[in-house]
Amino acid sequence: MSRMQRRDFLKLAGCSALGAVLFPRPGQSADPAPSASEKKRPNILFLAIDDLRDWVGYLGNKQVKTPNLDRLATRGVYFTRSFCASPCCNPSRTALLTGLRPGSSGVYSNGHDWRQIVPEGTVTLPLHFKNNGYHVVGAGKIFHGGLLRLSDWDGYLTGKGLGDEEDPVEKGRGKDKTKDGWDGVGGLRWGPLDCADKDLADYQSVSYILKKLGEPQGKPFFFACGLHKPHMPWSVPKKYYALYPLDQIEMPKVLETDLDDVPRAGVAMAKPDGDHAAILKSGRWKEAVQAYLATISFCDAMIGRLIDGFDQCPNKDNTLICLWSDHGWHLGEKQHWRKFALWEEATRAPYMWIVPGVTKPGGVCHRTVDYMHIYPTLCDFAGLPVPKHVEGESIRKLLENPAAPWDKPAITTWQFNNHAVRTERWHYIRYADGTEELYDHGRDPLEWTNLAQKPECASVKADLAQWVPKDNKPTPAGGGKTREQRDRKAKKRAEKPS
């Protein structure tokens, strides 16, 4: 950047304090090569989406309408084989944000309070950036609901429904079906709402981050915006439902006998007698698919607002964007609904990076990555040391050149000692009881035929099994409940007349 460009940038930024970061102070060396501490560090816009599976236009889904995610994806590098560390909100986010895989932290489910469980000295991603001179601000769902630690942040948009509460009060989220405008089958909740976008919490999270982006910055910033949708309830303004007329919904391709070659441990995860049986009985499968699609498009509209606002932000040219969804979602494939399983639908999720000066527009990476690489990659770009406890490694080379060699599989863990290993061709699953599944994505992208028992696949399996995490902490005591949940339960019990 020339001196003139720097001056223009500062003027645009409306920020004299930033000069302290960019330029030597009087008395400091006039050497044009800045020292490490003076180097301009990139700002970070960290975007988390909840429960968005691979149903986005840019990954090839033909019916979903995601024009904003699609246009953002063209600006940098998007991944076609990106996988969560765990197919469940809390363990996925805890792994990504602490740098510890579920087996290393012992955080396996939504009830496990990471704040009580992770080893002492574990520094979260936001805290690490806060400790190293970044202005760290968040909104919405970054950590799983109720498990936010405010002291890790310089600022956070708090309040009911805005990321720090498990049960937000917003339209369509309440507990009363008639009054709160939702419908559904069993625990699957949805319904078109007669309200505006701004009545939903995600809208407020985006507005808050946009406001922050417009403010003068004295430090490099780390702004995190976590969108709740398309997490259930799939209750969004009715205009999003209107995008998907019921008679035009394309249903997921499902093989009725798909579970026949899945071991018992996998069938137990699928729970075919649960949500799927209820959906079949109700005859409302298509409506559920429509509702999920509508909610994705609402999420996409929020991403659109964010991009449009970001493009007006004075720091845009020195701000990298990292966008991820915490895991995928089943809509009846393998007679399974929701996440909570190790198959492709539950583990694959949208993931992209736009890094000024590093990624080139139109980059597509087909390498297998999981989210353990996010923490060290952000440290890499910010010039920060990577804390010792952080697993994973920087994917800078894939962002510079999406075709660069990469020999790491993506690894996903669900509950104690059940793991999936995904390479560009193979998907290997090993359950805690030792039973296995193996799918050849070269021939079977829908994972219908389990090859694990084929003698000719023994060596492939052995290669993949080497990647299965070996040291896995036991499930924490306490019935899988957070401390607050346990306290509440104990209080209730004490109040009960004997």
Return the active site residues.
89, 144
Neighbours of 443 (CB within 10 A): 9
Given the complex with Ca ion, which of 202 and 333 has the nearer CB atom? Answer: 333
Given the complex with Ca ion, which of 232 and 346 has the nearer CB atom? Answer: 346
DSSP annotation of 445 reads T
Given the complex with Ca ion, which of 48 and 452 has the nearer CB atom? Answer: 452
Least distance to Ca ion, CB of residue 259, Å: 6
Tell me the CA distances in angstroms from 230 to 95, 141, 431, one per residue in order: 21, 12, 29
Distance CA 333, CA 219 (A): 47
- Take residue 391 and report the two structure tokens written for it: 């697993």
Distance CA 199, CA 3 (A): 46
- Take residue 270 and report the two structure tokens written for it: 């699928």
Q: Residues near 472 by Cβ (< 8 Å), separated by ≥ 6?
A: 102, 103, 413, 416, 417
Do 460 and 438 meet the contact criterion of CB atoms below 8 Å apart? yes
Given the complex with Ca ion, which of 191 and 263 has the nearer CB atom? Answer: 263
* Residue with smallest beta-carbon separation from Ca ion: 258
Q: Cα 343–50–407 angle (5° rounding)?
A: 50
Least distance to Ca ion, CB of residue 55, Å: 21
Given the complex with Ca ion, which of 195 and 254 has the nearer CB atom? Answer: 254
Secondary-structure breakdown of the chain: helix, strand, coil percentages, each rounded to the nearest 5: 35, 15, 45
Phi-psi region of 258 (alpha: psi -120 to 50; beta: other; left: phi over 0): alpha
Given the complex with Ca ion, which of 261 and 463 has the nearer CB atom? Answer: 261
The reply to whether omega before 230 is within 30° of 0 (cis) is: yes
Least distance to Ca ion, CB of residue 258, Å: 4
Given the complex with Ca ion, which of 270 and 372 has the nearer CB atom? Answer: 270
Least distance to Ca ion, CB of residue 439, Å: 9
Least distance to Ca ion, CB of residue 167, Å: 37
Given the complex with Ca ion, which of 225 and 420 has the nearer CB atom? Answer: 420
Distance CA 398, CA 406 (A): 8
The reply to whether omega before 455 is within 30° of 0 (cis) is: no
Least distance to Ca ion, CB of residue 450, Å: 5
> Residue for token digits 């994806």?
73
Do 144 and 84 meet the contact criterion of CB atoms below 8 Å apart? no
Given the complex with Ca ion, which of 231 and 336 has the nearer CB atom? Answer: 336
Q: State the residues that interact with Ca ion by CB under 5 A.
A: 258, 261, 448
Q: Residues near 271 by Cβ (< 8 Å), separated by ≥ 6?
A: 336
Least distance to Ca ion, CB of residue 255, Å: 7
Q: Phi and psi (nearest 5°) for 218? A: -90, -10
Least distance to Ca ion, CB of residue 461, Å: 17
Distance CA 42, CA 378 (A): 10
Distance CA 230, CA 238 (A): 15
Q: Residues near 478 by Cβ (< 8 Å), separated by ≥ 6?
A: 486
Phi-psi region of 356 (alpha: psi -120 to 50; beta: other; left: phi over 0): beta
Number of H helices, E strands in the chain: 17, 16
Phi-psi region of 27 (alpha: psi -120 to 50; beta: other; left: phi over 0): left
Least distance to Ca ion, CB of residue 325, Å: 25
Q: Phi and psi (nearest 5°) for 489? A: -65, -45
User: In sequence order, what are the beta bridge partners of 427?
Assistant: 422, 439
